[in-house]
A and B are shown apart, each in its own frame.
Chain A
């Protein structure tokens, strides 16, 4: 394309697509007379998207470089995100409910429609991902498309500008030179007092300030791109660990996700509640209608690290690393991992005790205690009496066919089929024993199991997390904030002053906050005696 370069009358060779000469500022394209004001965007430097329009790559590039397209992507994301909050997302409906019926049951016809359209899982849907990907692409392409020309135009600001460049700025003014005219050094001083960097060349002045703010948009776009990359890395293995750990008081468990290197022990779970009679909070607790308001959930945890190789069949050798009470908002942190307090179960059944009684005499033969997490096969009561555990249902219920079964491995509702062996019945008598239930499925028995008591423990619901993407997200967020402040809280302003034989010209440009520039000009012109430049865009009205 080099043969398409444009040579300005000042002799400078501009790249193809340039609108305003890079050196002298003379407009290169279009009918000079019909265009009253110059388009100062990127100083008329050639933008790829405005220049190349033929190949398919050009077309894709041009599509994503368009701010209009970018805004459409933002608006579509905005609307889609909002739709996702009308009814709860699938991840927030009660854990055991079936989404195929839940939405209809809870929200009627609209709920059904919501589910059918796939909005119940909106933020993970392929089209939402595609929108975010499009946003990322648009950020990259649009930034590159504009970064290069902006860099070209700002790299070396020229002091002397072509007459037609000056005349075609939004604010332009002339002051006739007479004996009491302001001199350049006074003007220079006035500009420097407003913290402008002033350059002088052949009686021309160029004052500029806050140029760095022009880079704000690019900096914040880089931050956003980093943030999106960080979010994407989550899907790579090893970057992200998310495990649930239920830990009973007094027990030590392997921490899942740490490759068996770490173990956690609970020295106890504490639930504290606010005092309902507390003068300060009494009214609010009463108003809330809740019996108690939680004050603290806490697991007193001890972290252990495994030492040496673990030999199969033996207990690992553990070394204490640290003690830390895990509370909401205060996770236990170690080596990139964090363990959070998220849930609890109070008084979970641990052990059940029974006695074996002779029904007729009421005499107790002996007692046994069953560890609900680890029941033995047989309990020997001596003198020819023993109890055999034939079947165990930790979380008992009858299934569709009326057979006993268990819902989970957690002893929420333990039930046993026990075989009571006695000298009279060496083959045993079968009893079905559950909480408040004692059935004799195979006919009348001579012996029965009587429930004595239960042992309970508190259980902590913990979550193990490791997120290696956090630092990228943090850097991305920080860069975004720096960029957005850089771009929003400062404004790039430029003033050109051209001294001729009998007139002094002043024109200026800013890419935003014209009002501020105008006020600055008012003060400068008042001080120096220059005429206040006129807003040429207003004259048209």
Chain B
């Protein structure tokens, strides 16, 4: 059952990939347009939507079969949560598509969902037993609702990105073009990180270092990426012999500080190389390269979708990530609120979107300003997913 489940996820992944390409064709495929523009985009958009739906059904089957195999809702560790988050994004996209029939959102939302699911694959995917704190019906209720809320809010990021790519003036370099390219680079460096991680894992790369931490305890760390930054005063023990090229500075303390720094370095440089390659091929900014294809996109509609995703997602997120979370925390940890980092970041996300709604509805922030806010909102959601789980230790660090 577990094997079947993971195969279903692979299939879903590739169908999403196909759906993204089909959505792209509905927008870009000028050269082999046989029919007029509207019919072409309608026809391919419909296929894109159909493929996305089929992919979603496959991922839903993955989710159900894994649930049966594990005996509990598969949202209990980072692999399961992140894949579920990707699925929630696709689900949110399908709903938004039914309302607005916008192909261009698919061109951006589906690849982002794919990157999220690919990112999930770097975490161990074994079925884990549930520790006592997680044994509750609120596991399925709280986590799925919170992820769904974040998925819907992520659609506003996709729409915001469309708006920016379409409207930012690409004829000369500016702050807007820089930050837009920075978003593109971030997405690309996530891809680079996933590819590098999976590549070295497939090659069986591993090297082990030992060091003495500030509590004078002997710590062993396993590097799955070649060590560029080694632990401070670390000793090579076994495994593949490479580096470290330098040691992490002494003020970076904590058990895995050097290991995290090493991962960050790989992601940044891997991303730079991949981004550089793309730029070499395109010979212009990525934003500038995509912009012409968005010529016919109705930017007011995209702006509306971006706002609507927040309007729908905000209550869902509040319910899942704050209210249900508080009810569960009261049962499991004796208090509904305890300033655990994950709790705080759920609050930060809530406050951010509350500010967004006030800026938009009361201060009239629409268009570009609103689109940038949607991008920042997604950055906060990703910080909450990645940094708060992996870097900051707290009660929610299960993986």
- A161 contacts chain B at the CB level, 8 A cutoff: no
- Residues from chain B with a CB closer than 8 A to the CB of A92 are 340, 394
Q: Are A75 and B363 in contact (CB under 8 A)?
A: no
Cβ B344 vs Cβ A110 within 8 A? no
B393 and A489: CB pair below 8 A?
no
Q: Taking the complex as formed, is A296 at the interface, i.e. its CB lies under 8 A from any CB of chain B?
A: yes
Contact with A along B299-335 (1 / 0, CB 8 A): 0110010011001101100110001001000111011
Chain B residues with CB under 8 Å of A78's CB are 348, 351-352, 355
**Chain A residues numbered 463-491 whose CB sits less than 8 Å from any CB in chain B:** 463, 465, 470, 473, 477, 480-481, 484-485, 488-489
- Nearest to B220 among chain A residues (CB) is A289
Is B124 engaged at the interface, CB distance under 8 Å to the other chain? yes
Check B129–A284 contact: CB distance below 8 A.
yes
B135 at the interface (CB under 8 A from A): yes
**Chain B proximity of A478: nearest CB distance (Å):** 8
- Contact indicator A74/B336 (Cβ below 8 Å): no
B358 at the A interface (CB under 8 A)? yes
Query: Is B276 at the interface (CB under 8 A from chain A)?
Result: no
For residue B304, which residues in chain A have a CB less than 8 angstroms away from its CB? 513-515
Q: Which of B27-35, B106-114, B249-257 lies at the interface with chain A? A: B249-257
Residues of A within 8 Å of B361, CB to CB, are 511-512
Q: Are B336 and A81 in contact (CB under 8 A)?
A: no
Between A and B, how many residue pairs show CB distances below 8 Å?
A: 143
Bound Cα distance from A512 to B311, whole angstroms: 11
Q: Nearest-CB distance from B83 to chain A (Å)?
A: 16
Residue among A81, A110, A123, A488 with the highest chain B CB neighbour number at 10 A: A488
- Closest chain B residue, CB of each to CB of A469: B336
Nearest Cβ in chain B — how far from A109, in angstroms?
Answer: 6
| Chain B residues within 8 Å of A109, by CB | 251
* Contact yes or no, B392 A85, CB < 8 A: yes
User: Is B174 part of the binding interface, using a Cβ–Cβ cutoff of 8 Å?
Assistant: no
Judged by a CB distance under 8 angstroms, whether A6 is at the interface is no
Which residue on B lies nearest to A331, using beta carbons? B331
What interface size band does chain B fall in? 35 or more
**Which residues of chain A are near B124, meaning CB under 8 Å?**
284, 287
> If the complex has contacts A81-B348, A82-B345, A331-B331, are A281 and B129 also in contact, measured as CB distance less than 8 A?
yes
Say whether A281 contacts B128, CB under 8 Å: yes
Q: How far is the CB of A294 from chain B (nearest CB, A)?
A: 6
A500 at the interface (CB under 8 A from B): no
**CB-contact partner of A82 in B2, B131, B344, under 8 A:** B344
Are A67 and B363 in contact (CB-based, < 8 A)? yes
| Contact with B253, one of A75, A84, A106, A513 (Cβ below 8 angstroms) | A106
Closest to A76 in B: B351
Select one of A106, A283, A340, A484 contacting B254, CB under 8 A.
Answer: A106
Please tell me if B354 contacts chain A, counting CB pairs below 8 Å.
yes
Cα A330 to Cα B135 in complex, Å, equals 10
What is the bound-complex CA distance between A294 and B338, given in angstroms? 23
Q: Is the interface of A mostly helix, strand, loop or mixed?
A: helix
Whether A481 contacts B323 by the Cβ 8 Å rule is yes
Looking at A70, A89, A328, the one whose CB has the most chain B CB atoms below 10 A away is A328
Q: Does A385 contact B (CB under 8 A)?
A: no
Q: Chain A residues with Cβ under 8 A from B131's Cβ?
A: 293-294
B345 touches A484 (CB 8 A): no
Q: Which residues of B contact A340 (CB under 8 A)?
A: 334
A463 touches B351 (CB 8 A): no
A477 with B127, Cβ < 8 A, contacts A106-B253, A485-B315 known:
no
Central interface residue in A70, A82, A88, A327, by most chain B CB within 10 Å: A82
CA separation between A512 and B388, bound complex, in Å?
A: 35
Within the assembled complex, what's the spacing in Å between the Cα atoms of A210 and B263? 52
Given the complex, which residues of A lie within 8 Å of B300, measured CB to CB?
Answer: 515
With both chains docked as a complex, state the minimum distance between the C-beta of B28 and any C-beta of chain A, in angstroms: 25
Contacts of A110 in B (CB 8 A): 251
State whether A488 touches B336 (Cβ < 8 A).
no
Chain B 127-144 near chain A by CB (<8 Å), digits 1 or 0: 111011101100000000
Bound: A78/B250 CA distance, A:
31
Q: Is the CB–CB distance between A285 and B129 below 8 Å?
A: yes
Nearest 6 pairs between A and B by C-beta? A108-B251, A284-B126, A328-B132, A515-B304, A85-B341, A283-B126
Q: Known A-B contacts: A82-B348, A280-B2, A512-B311. Give 19 more (CB < 8 A).
A: A71-B359, A71-B363, A82-B344, A91-B338, A106-B214, A107-B251, A111-B253, A274-B129, A280-B70, A280-B127, A283-B126, A283-B127, A295-B129, A327-B132, A331-B331, A465-B335, A477-B326, A484-B315, A513-B304
